[in-house]
Amino acid sequence: MSKCTRYGNILTVPKTNLASLLDLASEHDGLVTTHLAAEAGITRRALAGMVERGRLERISRGVYRVAHLNPGPLSSYREAILWAKSHSGPPAALSHETALAIFGLTDANPSKIHLTTPQEARLRRARPQRIVIHQARLEKKDVVEHEGLPVTSVTRTVLDLARAGNVRFARDAIVHARREGYLSDDEARRLTADVKNLTHET
């Protein structure tokens, strides 16, 4: 039986595990990790019980979705970030074609979710098939926040695409970014020159 606490004339009832989990999930597009749950005092055993009762859905190791909450448009990206961060994983940023999609700088709808993690990172958990991992050094200026998600900046994204050989995506992204106001004329010209140098174009 739950214990009640009295503050003056006010009787408070402790939150149930599910109520605490709903509070957490509401901040992460209906998602929660074992690490976040543990910080809220919810054990792995309690999570397993909620999965058995159909209140939670286990979508990857260490990441769960509240069953009755509909996923938002950025949910799959948030899921990938939480997967990388689960069990105190390394910092990661959405990058490459995924970053373009988040910024609205491509007409393509990538089937894979691209994440960039530090070069020294060692992800020990099984990687979901839809996630592509890139390892590279990320400076503070290379990562921006978009609706609560860490995403490589437009400039860094374009350069990453060029380095990966996706020159057409890089060029198109510069055009879209200038049109949408992400880049000034001077920035677009400099970035075009950088792409040219990276790909040894004449």
Residue 23 CA to residue 41 CA, distance in Å, equals 13
170 — pLDDT class (breaks 50, 70, 90)? very high
Q: Report the share of the chain in percent with pLDDT over 90.
A: 39
pLDDT of residue 89: 59
pTM for the model: 0.74
Q: What is the mean pLDDT of residues 123-141?
A: 85
Residues 180, 104: contact at Cβ < 8 Å?
yes
Query: pLDDT tens-digit profile of 56-80?
Result: 888 877 888 887 777 778 888 988 8
Amino acid at 44: R
Per-position DSSP letters for 98-144, written without gaps between them:
HHHHHHT--S---SSEEEEE-TT----SPPPTTEEEEE----GGGEE
Which of 5-19, 89-103, 117-131 is predicted most confidently? Answer: 89-103
Domains, in order of start, for the chain:
16-72 (1.10.10), 92-202 (no CATH)
pLDDT of 1 over the 50 cut: no
pLDDT of residue 8: 43
